[in-house]
A and B are shown apart, each in its own frame.
Chain A
Amino acid sequence: MEGLTLSDAEQKYYSDLFSYCDIESTKKVVVNGRVLELFRAAQLPNDVVLQIMELCGATRLGYFGRSQFYIALKLVAVAQSGFPLRVESINTVKDLPLPRFVASKNEQEPRPAASYSSDSENQGSYSGGVIPPPPGRGQVKKGSVSHDAVQPRPSADQQEPASPVVSPQQSPPTSPHTWRKHNRHPSGGNGERPLAGPGPFWSPFADSQSGSAAGDAVWAGHSPPPPQENWVSFADTPPTSTLLSMHPASVQDQTTVRTVASATTANEIRRQSSSYDDPWKITDEQRQYYVNQFKTIQPDLNGFIPGSAAKEFFTKSKLPILELSHIWELSDFDKDGALTLDEFCAAFHLVVARKNGYDLPEKLPESLMPKLIDLEDSADVGDQPGEVGYSGSPAEAPPSKSPSMPSLNQTWPELNQSSEWETFSERSSSSQTLTQFDSNIAPADPDTAIVHPVPIRMTPSKIHMQEMELKRTGSDLTNPTSPLLVKPPDLSEENKINSSVKFPSGNTVADGYSSSDSFTSDPEQIGSSVTRQRSHSGTSPDNTAPPPPPPRPQPSHSRSSSLDMNRTFAVTTGQQQAGVVAHPPAVPPRPQPSQAPGPSVHRPVDADGLITHTSTSPQQIPEQPNFADFSQFEVFAASNVTEEQDGDAEKHPEVLLVEKASDPASSLRVAKTDSKIEDKTAASAPANMSKGTTPLAPPPKPVRRRLKSEDELRPDVDEHTQKTGVLAAVLASQPSIPRSVGKDKKAIQASIRRNKETNTVLARLNSELQQQLKDVLEERISLEVQLEQLRPFSHL
């Protein structure tokens, strides 16, 4: 390079600058970063800077040696003076004022911190002060932030301004101090503190930083970044160092643990800030640091930091409590006394800013709002003064906390409904209840479709019954039974014969209930109706649980019964009985347990009575007509459900099935008592059926046949038939009995064996029926209670 002649002042100045930039103390080469900063501070257009760099040879060399540096400085002065940049100008321009570096010349480093400053005023002051170099020349300190105004006054006074400017260089590390000094010093222009150079400063800095040697174009002659204090004590790293160097000493106390660590992040900040950076934006590095700190307090990143822990943590920063309190107010967005990760980062950021001397904003800056903390998406708020009181961003954080709510809410109705449903089924005593239930559940929530297949229907018993009828006929079994279908698995096991099965299953369920009811409420019509309703309830999924197990539709029974049912239903209001009759093919006579005179037969007979009654069975065994019926009945047991359905609901076909011979007698008895009550019949029927079915695999066919016949018989025979049906069913398996009589010994013995088997079967059935009876009684009681409750209303 050409020889460079410097005046004394210049010499001094330049050497100071050099030492300033020479953070590595190489005495030879200055750090590029620093140099860039410096140049930026000179407030020259980027191209000028580039030109300077080129001229001085730095570009060529790739670094700034002392000579290059001096030349560069000289060129800066030239440029600032408005002279064209020429290599020769360095020496030719006379009386060149010292290059002026605004703000931060001395403390180049803090510039990066400018992001925080965001003081528009500063900016303004800077620009005002610095921009027009020539005019400004005279004034050493143009109000700009500090430093700089090193007017190239050849006069001695220049020295002075220079010196103050220079001095900081000597202690670059203590930028904050120097900064402050300058601050006051320069007069005023900046009244603002350190926050000088908001965004714009930032960006150029950052960019230049990142760009390092080459890229600094961003310089863009922004007003020099205000001498920001070191953002956080970041270690100076060549590329970005200058900005960050938060010297431990400089920062107010440095005691905070944070400072050191954050230094690096500060670099990041700077680096990241783009031209329109938000001074409050958090860089990735910073964010990462914050997150790490967050983890030390609260390992779960989605969790909260309680207020007390946060208080301790932030108290370590040695900020005054009042300020910490204010920071808290700003950052605790949802005012819950705890900090989420975002809130914590915002608070941390604010603390760091504060420590660097930036004033706290009145409102939370937009970039710090929860959810907006991550920079990348920062809007252009760089120009805003530090306090970007945007608060524009809606409180997104809070809303985010609520998303889970709706889902929770949704589950509720389901639960409620399902529970309702269940309970309802159990209880469904009156049609009124049913309807209510209906309204409650049903359509309410598609989700609630929940468990039960077709919650909807709980129509009044009548409808239900009708439906059952329909079903029986083999028509759509969709409705009420559908739920039953799903529900009473146990019931349906045997029922699933066909579509009709559905109905039966439903019936069984219902019947189960009804049957129980029937048991309890014998003679009453209500009971029957109740039972009917029961059937509805049976549909509820719950059936299985509650006392009367859903009546098991007898597969075979259902088929045949469907037809029969129709008839029976149509015929009998009594429902159950009709149903009963219909159901158990083997028990046609029985189906109307309620009416059947058979009751007596049923009960005592259990084993036998049943048999005796079944009209159908008679053919089978004179002595044990029941047997015959049993067999049939058993077959029907499964299908009995359907019976019951028609009749009255579910007697308990399922009950029977479930309990099996729990109470054959009881069922029968019930049937007897409730002549009208379908359920009884149903109950008995199911009981019978169950008995029949469980022990044996009653041949469906015969049962069906019987059922039909039974239907016809129905009214009285029902009960008996039921019983007999059961027995018949039992016996069905032993069709040979009657024959055996007439046969030879072998046959007799065989028949004896069979009879014994039948006995055992019946005994089992008996026990089952007994259980069913109990259940039914319970149900009955509950139904009665409900009835009582409802009665007053109905009478109103």
Chain B
Amino acid sequence: MAVCIAVIAKENYPLYIRSTPSENELKFHYMVHTSLDVVDEKISAMGKALVDQRELYLGLLYPTEDYKVYGYVTNSKVKFVMVVDSSNTALRDNEIRSMFRKLHNSYTDVMCNPFYNPGDRIQSRAFDNMVTSMMIQVC
């Protein structure tokens, strides 16, 4: 039940970003942007080891009073950032992991589409649907 989900390309520009429209989306965008620094930091920290050993799931990047931000990096340096509501305490780490896994799978499916050029914004409906299913429905 994320509040905002973003897919960032290797060059750190967003391929896909979507948030629940309940709030000012800009704020989420900003959060995602700042979290990229944390992601990079984590990557470099682990980077000493081989990439293989680096785990894809980065975990909690940083918490704010309202939200928690989780990160996930693929082996091709595509980053998934997820912002969840702090009040949603029911979310466990495993659930976050599974959500990232689903994201990753959907992203892979998008990549498999020959009509998708890497680097384009993701406009796949299937991907959208999947993200929607994961987003919190805040009316």
Contacts and interface: CB of A to CB of B under 8 A. Distances in A.
Could you tell me the dominant secondary structure of chain B's interface residues?
loop
Contact of B115 (A311, A335, A336): A311
Interface in B78-106: none
A329 B113 contact: yes
B96 to A, nearest CB: 24
Interface in A288-330: 306-308, 310-311, 314, 321-322, 324-326, 328-329
A328 B125 contact: no
B108 to A, nearest CB: 8
A332 B113 contact: yes
A274 B109 CA distance: 36
Given A329-B109, A335-B109, A310 B114 contact: yes
B112 A332 contact: yes
Contacts of B34: none
A24 interface: no
Contacts of A324: 115
A512 to B, nearest CB: 49
B126 interface: yes
Range of interface residues on chain B?
10 to 19
B123 interface: yes
Interface string A321-360: 1101110110010011100000000000000000000000
B67 to A, nearest CB: 31
B124 interface: yes
Nearest to B127: A329
B113 A325 contact: yes
B116 interface: yes
B114 A328 contact: yes
Contact of A307 (B109, B114, B124, B126): B114
A308 B125 contact: no
Contact of A326 (B108, B112, B125): B125
Given A311-B114, A311-B115, A325 B109 contact: no
Contacts of B115: 311, 314, 321, 324-325, 328
Identify the interface centre among B113, B116, B124, B126: most chain A CB within 10 Å of its CB: B113
Contacts of B123: 322, 325
A143 B40 CA distance: 59
Interface string A64-93: 000000000000000000000000000000
Contact of B112 (A314, A321, A322, A335): A335
A362 interface: yes
Interface string B116-131: 1000000111100000
B112 to A, nearest CB: 4
Nearest to B129: A362
B114 A329 contact: no
A162 B115 CA distance: 45
Nearest to A307: B114
Contacts of A328: 113-115
A226 B133 CA distance: 35
A332 B112 CA distance: 9
A307 B125 contact: no
Contacts of A314: 115
Contacts of A329: 109, 113, 124-126
B105 to A, nearest CB: 9
Nearest to A362: B125
10 contacts: A307-B112, A311-B114, A321-B115, A325-B115, A326-B124, A328-B114, A329-B109, A332-B112, A335-B108, A335-B112
Interface of A: 306-308, 310-311, 314, 321-322, 324-326, 328-329, 332, 335-337, 362
Given A322-B123, A325-B113, A329-B124, 19 more contacts: A306-B114, A307-B113, A308-B114, A310-B114, A311-B114, A311-B115, A314-B115, A325-B115, A325-B116, A325-B124, A328-B113, A329-B109, A329-B125, A329-B126, A332-B112, A337-B112, A337-B113, A337-B114, A362-B125
- What 3 A-B pairs are tightest by C-beta distance, nearest first? A307-B114, A311-B114, A325-B115
